[in-house]
Structure 1
Amino acid sequence: MVPSYKLTYFATAGYAEPIRYLLSYGNIEFEDFRFKREEWPQLKEKMPFGHVPVLEHNGKKGCQSVAIARYVAKQVGLMGNDDWEDLEIDAIVDSIKENSTKLLPIRFETDEEKRKALRETAVKETLPYSLKPLEAFAQKNNGYLAVGRLTWADLYFVSLSEGINRLAGFDIMKDYPNLHALINKVLEIPSIRKWIETRPKIEP
Structure 2
Amino acid sequence: MSMYKLTYFKDGAVGEPSRYLLSYCGIKFEDVRLTMEEWPKHKSNMPMGQLPILEIDNKTYHQSRAIARFIAKKGNLYGSDEFEAMEIDATVDSMEDIRRVMGEYYWEQNPVFKAKLKETALQKLPFYLDKFEAQVKNNDGYFINGKVMIDYMSNYRLSWPDFMWAAYSERISFILTRDVNQDHPELKKLVEKIRALSKIKAYIEKRSKIQ
Superposed pair shares fold, TM > 0.5? yes
TM-score by length of 1: 0.90
- 2:137 corresponds to: 139
Within 5 Å, give how 1:15-164 maps onto structure 2.
15-110=14-109, 118-119=117-118, 121-123=120-122, 125-147=123-145, 149-164=157-172
Identity between Structure 1 and Structure 2 (%):
41
TM-score by length of 2: 0.87
Amino acid at match of 1:138: V
Could you tell me how far apart the structure 2 residues matched to 1:80 and 1:18 are?
17
Shift in alpha-carbon separation, 1:106–1:41, aligned structure 2, 3 A = same
- 1:173 corresponds to: 181
Q: Which has the higher helix share?
A: 1
- 1:192 corresponds to: 200
Could you tell me how far apart the structure 2 residues matched to 1:132 and 1:77 are?
28
Shift in alpha-carbon separation, 1:119–1:134, aligned structure 2, 3 A = same
Amino acid at match of 2:186: N
User: Would the aligned equivalents of 1:10 and 1:34 in 2 still touch at CA under 8 Å?
Assistant: yes
1:169 Cα deviation from its structure 2 partner:
2.4
Could you tell me how far apart the structure 1 residues matched to 2:13 and 2:180 are?
18
Q: Secondary structure at the match of 1:55?
A: strand
Could you tell me how far apart the structure 1 residues matched to 2:174 and 2:119 are?
13
Unpaired runs of 5+ residues, structure 1, are none
User: Would the aligned equivalents of 1:106 and 1:167 in 2 still touch at CA under 8 Å?
Assistant: no
Amino acid at match of 1:139: K
Cα deviation, 1:92-133, whole Å, max 9, x if unaligned, reads 00110111100113322456787566545533x121121111
User: Would the aligned equivalents of 1:119 and 1:167 in 2 still touch at CA under 8 Å?
Assistant: no
Give the number of aligned pairs: 201
Could you tell me how far apart the structure 2 residues matched to 1:172 and 1:8 are?
27
Shift in alpha-carbon separation, 1:107–1:12, aligned structure 2, 3 A = same
1:21 Cα deviation from its structure 2 partner:
0.1
Amino acid at match of 1:147: N
Shift in alpha-carbon separation, 1:79–1:152, aligned structure 2, 3 A = same
Q: Secondary structure at the match of 2:31?
A: strand
1:157 Cα deviation from its structure 2 partner:
0.7
